[in-house]
Every structure is written in structure tokens, then in C-alpha cells.
A and B are shown apart, each in its own frame.
Chain A
Amino acid sequence: MKKVFLSVLVVAAMSLQSRAQETFPRNGVYDERSGLRAFTNATIFVDYQTKLENATLVIKDGKVVAVGTKVAVPQGAMVTDLKGKTVYPGFVDPFTSYGVPTPPARSFSFNSPPQAESKKEGAFNWNQAIRPETNAVELFKVDAKAAEELRKLGFGAVLTIHQDGIARGTASLVALADKRENQVVLLDKAAAALSLDKGSSTQEYPNSLMGSIALLRQTYLDAQWNAKNWDKEQNISLKAFNEANNLPQIFEVSNKLNAVRADKVGDEFGYQYIFKGQGDEYQMLPQIKATNAAYILNVNFPDAYNVEDPYDARRIDISDMKHWEMAPANPALLVKEGVAIAFTSADLRDKSRFLPNLRKATLYGLPEQEALKALTYTPAKLLKADKYVGSLREGMQANFVVASGNLFDPSTLLLENWVQGQGYKITETPGDFRGVYTLKVGNQPERRMLISGTPEKPELKVVAQDTLKGSLSLSGELLTMAFAPAKNGKESIRLTGWYTGKGFQGEAQLPDAQTVKWTALLSEAATQQAKRDTARSRSNNALDMGKLTFPFAAFGRTELPKAETVLIKNATVWTNEKEGKLENADVLLKNGKIAQVGKNLSANGARVIDGTGKHVTPGIIDEHSHIALDGVNEGTQAVTAEVRMADVVNHEQVNIYRQLAGGVTTSQLLHGSANPIGGQSAIIKLRWGQAPEKLLFEGADPFIKFALGENVKHSNRSPQYNVRFPQTRMGVEQVMVDAFQRAKEYQKAWASYNKLSKSAKAKTPAPRRDLELETLSEILKDERFITCHSYVQSEINMLMKVADQMGFKVNTFTHILEGYKVADKMKARNIGASTFSDWWAYKMEVKDAIPYNAAIMHNVGVTTAINSDDAEMARRLNQEAAKTMKYGGVSEEDALKMVTLNPAKLLHLDDKVGSLKAGKDADVVIWNEHPLSIYARPEKTFVDGIAYFDLEQDQKLQEEQEKERLRLINKMLAAKARGERTQNAAPSRRGAAQVLHCEDLSTEGEETFQESEYSQK
């Protein structure tokens, strides 16, 4: 017989003060009690892997005194019989802001000028987003309501973090008891917290992701320097930062890419972070695993979308649809890879979904033991608090959860949560009285009585000749019921009674007003299985999921295309070498390289592609691109040489694939043009499906973006931006001179330090490493190269003179629309040009821009390229190159070089790409037509000999994608029909095609025609 739950609750114990307040005087007599209690006959998980049956737990003074199967109940202990119940160690949430104030929302006003300097008064850091001096323990106040909410989920202790800024200071481990702060704080500084979000900081810098990363890097360096140079600068923040760095580092990130990005910073400075992620880690499993980090996971699984309307359903990105399906599998997939995980209740708007979603995760393959570990042991261990919480060993906090059964069983209820020896009732559960009874009322013949339904809403049926429905209500163990003894009878037998342990008994009143005794003896309890079935049946097909794709985005493939040996036969081959254009020629691609170019080639085992009527060219190289980036501008300071575009490459952006479909194989991802000295470029190969790190062009020289003109001086921004120096071209010159002057002094300081003997070095503090000046000195040393956004001749001339004066070189002027006016001066300095084919007239400084620009510069002898600065135009750079034939009469071969060999030269990559020559990278495009024709389209685009775009494959990919969408749509419809929650289809931020230009200040993509209420054009 199933033992029903006895709600014998220890009301007295509920208010027990079990931990002394040593230093506090009392108003009245002392009332310290030991709270010695024994919990017997329970199934106890001493820790996530040690399960004891019929065990006893003894607690005293808020701590565990003993636990085991042979533990004797101490004399004087209050005893609670927990037969049939399961006891778990109290859960530990490693990511909350329990009891600390919510940081203010970043105040933003369109009318306020940008704030260059910190507004925080005192000897703190220069940047408001760096606030390591914050100690959560100083802000912490017990919050009874919040504590109760967390306790209901099973948590006994939480890490509380003041979630504001990039360096967030220290976090405290606190117990969720309703006691004085002095009692519940378990570890005042349990961890340090970090993020890439500037939080409430009103200071302008950083306003981009790469700016945040750069600031974090510089802060590590500044702190290291400050530790040795405290006499040079008193800095409370840096001092605190150094101290906090010894603690476990909890790093909040908004997606998996940011975890990988932040991990690199950690590696650079020797810190292993613990990431608090967003549940999309499975999408980059190998990279996530390689971070070696533990992950704090929420269970905020997305709702299905409303997909009944086919038009609306179209708007949902396939990655969002797949994420709906796969998110619950995230914990399981991570654990399978050996990644340590801990669960947090964070991000759940409806906290009551914590346990159901946790159970969902186990249905999706997470072993129960691992789930329990992630709730208890792992978070405790991560916070170095496993001596206090996370298991139930002698001397540890008496934090435990009493459950009605197996935690992961859908029908199990959390009954009580004990924190620091103090018990809190969670569920006022009705007893579960479901089953079949033998009912005997007075002298009447026996009837069968069925109690079914749910424990909360039991239903009554009484079977004699007929099956009759009756009414039933329970209050604790007191029962009231009524039923009509005959079918359609108007008269009822009314019964009242109580639970006896074997059934019920009490008094009944018959229709004739006679009062009789009655009994109902349990003959058969409802089986556990029957109870579970309803819950389980929902998720039978949980593991029937779609496949991961690379990348996890539209046009992602389930398997990456492989390198092969390819022989293209009998095509027109544009070599860009002295052989020029070869008719009826062959190209052999092997091991990622061009093996041979010539006639009548053959190769064993090669896939032969008939190139008859087709044209083969080198892959297109875009010198000026902003695709595949999470952010473009850190334009908040005039000089931001420290930011790196390589930090924010996003390999999931569909524009990579779209560029491949236009024959592009290499792109230089540039910082924007909002400031004179911008950030460091990332040069990528478009290896669609590979992780960001693998997109970077190996061995490429480092570049940096400079900019001149209207964007730099904020000409086209609202008037409140008229405060940042420079506002004129005059000022821009001074910024440049000043920056390089400082860089020279920086170089000098380091040079003289480096010259010192070992012993002298030991006595002399090293100069502060400054990533901005370090980058600029690389330019002075010819180790980094400038691509400078520029328009009018005066500014172009100016920068050339500044370069002459300060002793550096300009590698490339990009855009350079008035280059035709100073082409001779550029030629004299061997500076290249990368320009638009025919853009003009959209702003004042392009009034004199002409489409003949490229032709003139080319004729003067300047290495000239045509660039896109636009994800759409980049897909038809061949057309843009062809315009130089129309405007200025450039030859067709030279025109093609403007988007292939010439940009390769500008990027110093012409030894690897840009022409078809044996030994160079097999970055090759096969066109259906003359590549400069308006009618040309790529049929295959190879990068390193791998066909990342293939017209035929593209068709298949689209068909598969459509099938996958339909499968998911049907699954969502089914989920909705089952009554699961849904959300409306909305254009996805993530999936929206991002088109970023030089001037874009925000990084949020938008679906072009649906977001604005009234389109402007």
C-alpha cells in the first residue's frame, strides 16, 4: 500500500532560530535553541551519486550532524518520519541577484551629448563599466519574498551578483533562510563576476562588443601595472580587480560565441572563466568544449511558435525553429562532451517552469545523476563552497529538499525545503488517495468506490449495479462525499469521515435521515505507472530531433564539404598572370592548392568538371567589407586602435554564404569610419560552416582601419555629437600627429626599459602596456598596415604628409573617391587604392566622386581595387569591376584584377591568392559566362579547393531546408495541440540579414521591410 503523505508539519520548527547571533545583544531573554532533529526512514541523497535507503539525517544548529543508514536518533531530537520521501541536498544557484539592487537601466537621451569621461566620483577607474570595487555582500539585504520564490524551486543557497558592468566586483554565497544577513552569508566573496555588457554605465566607451573586449584586456594590463606602480596612481578599482581575480570568475555571456571570445581573453591573462550562458552552447560544441570552462545554464527553453499562417511562419528563422527543438537537449549534449554544467533559475520569466524544464532536459538525454550534480555538487564546487553546500555531509549546512519521490519524476512534488536547519513548507499537498476502495455504508451491500483524477482534483465513482459519479472533497485527511445510490436518483447518501491509514471511516446520513457508520478500505492503490503515463506520453519523441548544422543557421550543412582533387577541363581560364586569358585550358586543384594550370592536364582520381563554355577566375577579394561581424564601430573615442575585429567575427551570418554565391572567397572585415583611428581588421576566407577562428586568413599581415572626412568629424550626426574632438579636417590632422607622437614616446619608453640589464629591470617597474599605443607602434615598425577610409583630396594629401612627417606608411586608401585628383602623389608613395565603382552624391564629400576614378588611378599606376562596403554589392563585384570598362576604358583583364589580384596585393596576399598559378591557394570560381558580363553567375566557388558554394548543391540545400522547416512546423503544431505554450512569429533579430556599412553605429540587424511602420521610400 502506498503510504500517503502525512502533512504532519512541524510548525514550531518553522520559526526556529538555529544559528546564534553571537555579537548581537538581545532585547529580552536569550532564546537560542539547538534545533536538534532527526529525519528517519528517508531515501537520502547524501550527494548527487550516493543514495541511501531507509536512512536517517540528523541536524543541529543549522548543520548536518550525521547522516546514514545506521545513525541512531540522538536523545532529545525531534523526529520526523520521512518514509516514502526522498531527501536531496539543497540546490545551489550560482547565478542570481538575490537581495542585491537591480542596477539602474542605462539612461539614454537623444538630447544629451556623449559622455567621454567617467561620472563616478572618487579614486576609481577611468571607465564606469569597470566596477570591481563593488562587493555584493555590502549591498546584500535578505529579501523574504525572493528567498521564498527560490526556495520553492529547491534552492538552499545562491550566489548573488550585482549584475552591472563589465567588471562587476565580488559576489557572495548566501543561504536562503529568513534570518539576519550576518547569518545567511556563507561566503562574503565567493566569486568575481564579469561580462561584456557595460551595464548602467553612461560613459560612451565602449559601445561595441569589440570595445568591451578591448577594455577588459586593457583592464587586466592596467591592474597588473598598477599593482607594481601604486605610487604612480591610486586606483581603488584596479586594486579591487587584482584581488577579485583570485576568486572563481563567473563570466556572463549572451551567446555561445561570446563565451568562446571571452575565453580567449581569459587564456591571454591566465584565467579560466566559468560561463553563464544562454543555452545555445550545443550549437558550437567543439569550440565550447575547447574553452575548458564550466557552464552555468538556464532552463529557459523557448516556446514553440505559432505557425498556422504560412506567411507568418516564413518570417521565423530556421535556426530559431531548430533551437526550439534542440534547446532542451543542450545540457545533455554538453555533459556528453564532458563539459561541467550547473543550473541556474536565471532568465526564467515564469520561475515555476524551472522544475518541469529541468525534467524536460532529462527526457532529452541528460542522466538524472548529472542533472542532480548540476543542481548541487557542481555549483558548490565551482564556487569552492563544496565544504558547505551541495551535499549532506557532517558539518555542512543543513540545506535539503524533501521530495515526494524521485525529483525527476513528473508527478513528484517538492514538499519542504530546509535551509540552515530551518524548514519551509513548499507544497501544501493534498494526500494522494487515488485507488479502489471497498465501501460499506451501514448495513447496505458493499460497493466499489473509485477515487481517480489528480491528487489536487480527485474524482469519485461508486459502482454498484450502475457506475455512479459522486462528489468528493478533501481537506487534509478529512473527507466529505456524496453520491446518489440509484441511477437518476434524486436522493443522495452524504458521508463525512477521516483517513485511517488503511482507508476512510466516518458517519453517513442516508436519504431517509438515518445516520450510520461507514468504512472504505483501500483494496488497490492506483499504480505509479498509471499516474505517470499522462506526463510521460508527451515526450516520447523527445530525442527525435533534427541534425546540427554548420553553421547553426540558414544554409548550414549537416556535414562540411570536403576538399577534393578537381580537374576543370576545357574552360576559358583567366590566370591574372603573364599568360593572361587562356582558351580551352585546364585547372587542377589538389590538396587545397592550385596544382597546375595549362592545357590537356590529367590527374588520377580527380573529379573532372567539364568547363566547356565556362570561365574560370581566381576568387573575388573584397578589400572593404563589414559582413560576418557582431559590431562595426567603436567610434566613441578618436583613437581606438586597441579594438580588434577578429574578436567579433560571426561565422553564422548568412551573408558569408551569399558572398560565396557571388564568387567572393576572401573579405577584409574592417572597423567602421566613425573615428580617425579605428580598430584592427580581420581578413577572412569564406569557409562557410567553419568556426570564426578557422575563417581567419592564416599568415595574413595585420591591418588597421583609419578614416577621414565627414564620418570622423560627425558631420552627419545629430548636433549633440558636435563635442568630440575632431569636428573638422583640421582637427583630424592633429589627432593623427598626436597619436603617432604618443606612440613614438611609448616605443622609446619600452626601448629604454628593454635595454636595461636583468638586475636593473628587477628594480625598475616596466612601463604600462597600452594596447592602443602598442598597435600604433606596430604601424611605425611596418608590422601593421593602414587602410584609410577617405574621400576628398585635401584630407588624402594631409594624411600622406603626416605619414611622411611621422615616419609611417599608408598602405591603402579605401573609398578614396577623389583619388583621381591626387593619384600622382599616391603613386609616388606607392599607396594603393580601393574604391567604389560608381557611388556618389549621397553626401557632401562625394559630390565630386566620379566613376572614372578607378580608371584614372589605374592609368597613373596606382594599384587599384574595387570594393563593396556592402553585403549586397559584394555579391556582384564582377559587375562593379566591369564598370571600369565602361567608365574609362580599362581592359577586361585589368578590370577583373581590380576585384582579384589587386586587392590581393593591397592585402599583401598576392603570393597566396588573386591569380591562378600553381602553388597558390585553390580559391577559384567557375562562371557560366564571361565573368565581367552582366549575365555571368558563379556555378562553383572553391576556397582551399573546397566547393563551399555549388549551384547544384545549393538547390539540394534549399530543398532540405524546406523539408526541415516543414518537419518543425508540424512538430510545433502538434506541441500547440498538446497545450504547450507558444509565441508569435516575429522577424528574428538573429536571423535577420545584417547589412552593415562603414557608418553603421548599431549592430542590430533588421528585416528590411517589416520593421518600420511607414517605410521612408
Chain B
Amino acid sequence: MTAVSLDSAWALSPSVALRPEPFGALAYHFGNRKLTFLKRPELVAVVRALESHPDVRGALVASGVPEGQHAAYVAALSGLARTDMIRPVGQGARR
């Protein structure tokens, strides 16, 4: 499986829906039926920004995530990639 890195391109899986909640969002995958909690509004913003940026770094910068936190966000995105919440672009992801 492709690893999430600052230079790779990712997007939300086509089977995933995000539902805004006070703490961030619920992400539900209609294929594997996994429910994931995105526990920070910042992470939700990043996940939503992924598809309109050529790489993860671009989405992080556009969402105002300070560089010092980039590694932590890459780790969080890796967790989402493991359950197919986000997919590498060009492998059935949106756009």
C-alpha cells in the first residue's frame, strides 16, 4: 500500500461521507462500514482540502497547519488510509 507522505497526492474515498459534528466530523465508509471520528476540525479541513491539492503538503498549508505539526497530520492521515477513508489519487479516488 502507498504510504502517506507530504509529497503524495490523496483524496477522500468515493465511498466515504463526512458528517460535520461539534468535535470535527464523523467519517463513514459505505463499503467496509467503518465509522471513524475525525476529532479535530483542523483534520476535517485537511481531509476536505486533499482533493484540491497536488500533494498532502499543499492541503496542510492551505488549511493553516503549522509546519511543526505536519508529521503528526501525516500520521493521522496514515491511519485514515489504512481503513480506506482516503485513497492515493489515481486509484479510484475522486478527481
Q: Do A and B come from one complex?
A: no
Chain A contacts to B: CB under 8 angstroms = none
Give residues in B with beta carbon < 8 Å to A: none
